[in-house]
Amino acid sequence: MLTYPIIGKIEATQTREGMPEFRVGDTVRVHYRIVEGEKERVQVFQGVVLKRHRAGVRSTFTVRKVSFNVGVERVFLVHTPRIEKVEVVSRGVVRRARLFYLRGLAGKAARVRDAKD
Amino acid sequence: MNQNPGIIGKKIGMTQIFDDKGEVIRVTVVQGGCVVLGKRTLEKDKYSALILGLGERKEKSTKKPVLGFIKKAGQTPKRWIKEMRCSAEHAAKYEVGQKVALDGIFEAGQIVDAQGTSRGRGFTGVVRKWGFAGGVSSHGTHEYFRHGGSIGTNMTPGRTLPGLKMPGQYGNETVSMLNIRVAKLILEDDLVLIEGAVPGPDGGLVVIRGAVKKKNAGKKKA
């Protein structure tokens, strides 16, 4: 299917710079702007990157954390201006592209090996 | 009849942009840049309209009468030529040979109508065309899977009622999307970004004009 180069030109204006390089298995802190009524504040979401969906402007990444014994996953758009910044907390060593197996594990078993170890 | 100011454009495709709140807007990109080839005037033609042309066509593949008309306007042959009814005041703003600037017609946030020709699907059965469920595939069904079922009763009324959904040509018809919003104008490339979908394939002709069912052609009050 033919895609016009103009689309690429528009999408290039929608992408953002300054996103740190991170991979599946890394632990990241996502600083995300949240608008509550009139007020705007930054919420931090820290967890393991389960998945990176690389698709130009539509790229996303999924972060999973366990909060009060409940697994929470959030999907972020890579290029959304709502992300203030992403910090890489630690690098993980994994052998899969998608870490969905973590969903079935809990506690010590649900850890990802750190690259420093 | 929609006589609001508008353009003819080429559908480029779909993408997404972020608005100032950081929310995603799904948009269809339409490229304008049409040229006024002629005018219809109240004095001569009893109505007013602009004749717009868009795209390029080889001279050898242009029909002679059209070529004569193009030559008279001092232009190169166009792929699409379309007459757009409009008010006499709007027509007076343009000269023959002038490019129709997008910011003179649309503004971001304006409500518009978009008209295009939907993709042709040919002769299509009722399952695809009308969303019929088809028949059951077991319980002894024999060669009756994607049929439409009964088309009426016997003696009373003794005919099939008009408007019954049956197989036939699907697509390749003029479809209008009413009251859709202009998300953004990109003037250097003559692009209009319209929220949501617009009928037709990429590369197809689209007519965009101010919304007919809104006051002030869908613009915010000036």
Q: What is the nearest CA distance from A61 to chain B, expressed in angstroms?
A: 16
Q: How confident is the model at residue A38 (pLDDT cuts 50, 70, 90)?
A: confident
B15, B22, B31 member nearest A82 (Cβ): B22
Spell out the CATH class of B1-6+101-120+171-222.
Answer: mainly beta
**Residue B116: what pLDDT?**
95
Record: fold of B34-99: Double Stranded RNA Binding Domain (3.30.160)
**Residue B20: what pLDDT?**
85
ipTM confidence: 0.80
Contact B220, B107 (CB under 8 A): yes
Residues in A closer than 8 angstroms to B203, CB to CB, are: 2, 4
B13, B189, B191 member nearest A3 (Cβ): B13
Say yes or no for a CB contact (<8 Å) between A7 and B191.
Answer: no
- The percent of residues in chain B predicted with pLDDT above 70, rounded, is 99
pLDDT digits (tens, 9 = 90+) for A48-67: 999 999 988 899 999 999 99
Size of interface A-B (CB pairs under 8 A): 44
Q: List every span in chain B annotated with CATH 3.30.160.810.
A: 34-99
Q: List every span in chain B annotated with CATH 2.40.30.10.
A: 1-6+101-120+171-222
**Residue B176: what pLDDT?**
95
**Residue B222: what pLDDT?**
58
**Between residues A25 and A116, which one has the greater pLDDT?**
A25
**Residue B2: what pLDDT?**
81
**Residue A2: what pLDDT?**
63
Q: What is the mean pLDDT of residues B146-159?
A: 92
Q: Residue A1: is its pLDDT beyond 60?
A: no
Q: Residue B107: is its pLDDT beyond 70?
A: yes
Say yes or no for a CB contact (<8 Å) between A7 and B186.
Answer: no
d(CA B110, CA B184): 9
The residues on A that touch B, with CB distances below 8 Å, are: 1-4, 6-7, 9-11, 14, 33, 35, 57-58, 77, 79-82
Say yes or no for a CB contact (<8 Å) between B202 and A2.
Answer: yes
Say yes or no for a CB contact (<8 Å) between A57 and B203.
Answer: no
Q: Residue B54: is its pLDDT beyond 70?
A: yes
pLDDT digits (tens, 9 = 90+) for B164-183: 999 999 999 999 999 999 99
